[in-house]
Amino acid sequence: MKQAQSIRSLALDLLIQRERGHGDITDLVKGAFAADAAGESARDRAFLKQLTVGTVERLITLDALIDRLASAPVRSQKPTVRNALRMGAYQILYMDGVADHAAVDESVQLVKTRLSVKPAGFVNAILRRIVRERERFLQEIDEADPPVRYSLPPYLWELFEKERGRAQAERICASFFVPRDLTIRPDPRLLKDAERYDEWERALAQAVPGLRHHPMLPQFLQLPDPGDLRRLPGYAEGCFTVQDAAGALAVAAAGIRPEDRVLDVCAAPGGKSLYAAALLNDPSQLLARDVSEEKCARLRENAERMRLSGMQIEVFDATLFDYSAVEGYDVVLCDLPCSGYGVLGRKPEIRYRAGEAQTESLVRLQRDILSNAARYVRPGGTLIYSTCTVSRAENEDNAAWLASEYPYRLTDWMDAELPGSIRGAVRDGCLQILPGEQESDGFFIARFRRTE
């Protein structure tokens, strides 16, 4: 194992980089893993991820506490000081496996090494007080107003409470802090070969203790953090891909037939396209588009690994109208850019970008894309609109708008292969899964039939 000090030093570097606008913390951690900065140890990597992502996730809560205890407010402290304080406080309050003396001493040493003795003493005094009064501070956090308790901007809490009611808003926010296993989708073609599938699942279970079937979609599998996916049995052979179960429902809802022609207008990172292509007679019946070559390159790489290289993949801006695509597809998938409030448990940075102006901008973008996509579906065909958020403006309101502006009607999901618990939750052609429900991300799906 790398020395704990070096892992904490790397964590501090990543938090400062994030603060300087060099990327979201989840992306910065992935970059550190790719560069092997955290070493080969799965324990080191897990510690780095929990410390950095957890600190950012609890930022509002931590800053509120530090502001109470410090003579200088967080915003006026040097980046090294405030991020060392945040890291130390997070370890003391939320990382049960970390000894208090390690959280304090090593945070202090980082500041002393990078700055001087005086700011190190400042950090030492605050962290030692948090250790002494930890239980009182935790109770006060539990009794604080929801934005501080759940580390949310007031706008986001008010949105959840207004649209879902206080009790449901509390459940949504609490779910963001519940650790979730990784979900993978076995290739549908592999599932048809029972002997080969059983052999692969046994090998996977040996490699990842704790493997289990997803309660909502039993053909999907859930894994405790497996580390480097590329080392898992079947990865190179394309036996599986990472995909949240809720997102996969958008493909299931479409009721895709083997002979259909399918268009995915905003395909990256590609989970839905790969799933849909595997259901077709030939993957070339699917066209996957996204706005940049970088995103399409990633999709091509995954398609090659999943033995679906026949898929058509091209760079195209979905806000531009494609006359050649008019009425050319049986199924059009529109999983569109959104606020992402359904995946806050995995992408904590999203909360700090939330705001009314952002929502309004996203709704305009979504409607621009839907206006184009609506004309690509053949008469009698299916359009699926989906997002990974819980904002009514982006979900139910957009669905009602599309049905009122274009020759579409929201329709049932009778030909979709769905578990009973989900089928019963579909209302007027729409399904809203809230974060934490069904052990999945928050997700919205609306299914439309073109009537003209």
Using one digit for the tens of pLDDT, what is the confidence trace for 244-277? 888 899 999 999 999 999 999 999 989 999 999 9
At 443-452, the pLDDT tens digits run: 999 999 999 7
State both tokens at 443. 């997700």
One domain, residues 352 and 436? yes
One domain, residues 193 and 338? no
**Which of 364-397 are b and which e, b meaning 16 or more Cβ less than 10 Å from the residue's Cβ?**
ebbeebbebbbbbbbeebbbbbbbbbbbbbbbbe
One domain, residues 111 and 168? no
Q: Which residues pair with 385 in a beta bridge?
A: 334, 446
At 103-120, the pLDDT tens digits run: 999 999 999 999 899 999
- Indicate whether 28 pLDDT > 80: yes
Indicate the residue among 144, 163, 192 that finishes a domain. 144
User: 40 pLDDT band (50/70/90 cuts)?
Assistant: low
Alpha helices (runs of H) in 261-391, residue ranges in sequence order: 271-278, 293-305, 356-373
338 and 394 Cβ atoms separated by less than 8 Å: yes
Predicted pLDDT of residue 339:
96
User: 3 pLDDT band (50/70/90 cuts)?
Assistant: low
Burial of 167 (0-12, 13-18, 19+ CB in 10 A): exposed
Residues in CB range of 122: below 8 A, 6 or more apart = 70, 71, 81
At 354-370, the pLDDT tens digits run: 999 999 999 999 999 99
Distance, in Å, from the CA atom of 425 to the CA atom of 346, rounded to the nearest integer, reads 24
One domain, residues 165 and 64? no
One domain, residues 312 and 367? yes
One domain, residues 209 and 354? no
> By mean pLDDT, which of 31-45, 213-227, 279-293 is the weakest?
31-45
- Indicate whether 77 pLDDT > 80: yes
Positions marked catalytic = 388
One domain, residues 136 and 69? yes
One domain, residues 194 and 310? no
Check: pTM over 0.95? Answer yes or no: no
At 143-163, the pLDDT tens digits run: 999 999 999 999 999 999 999
349 and 56 Cβ atoms separated by less than 8 Å: yes
Indicate the residue among 144, 165, 195 that finishes a domain. 144
Taking CA 28 as the corner, what is the angle to CA 27 and CA 31, rounded to the nearest 5 degrees? 90
One domain, residues 64 and 138? yes
One domain, residues 8 and 140? yes
State both tokens at 36. 């092997």
Residues in CB range of 77: below 8 A, 6 or more apart = 70, 85
SS3 of residue 133 by DSSP: coil
Domain that holds residue 315: 251-450
Predicted pLDDT of residue 215:
87
Predicted pLDDT of residue 437:
84
CATH code at position 99: 1.10.940.10
Mean pLDDT of 408-435: 84
One domain, residues 160 and 82? no
CATH code at position 255: 3.40.50.150
> By mean pLDDT, which of 39-43, 151-155, 215-219, 240-244 is the weakest?
39-43
Indicate the residue among 242, 265, 292 that finishes a domain. 242
One domain, residues 358 and 439? yes
Report the number of distinct structural domains present in the chain: 4
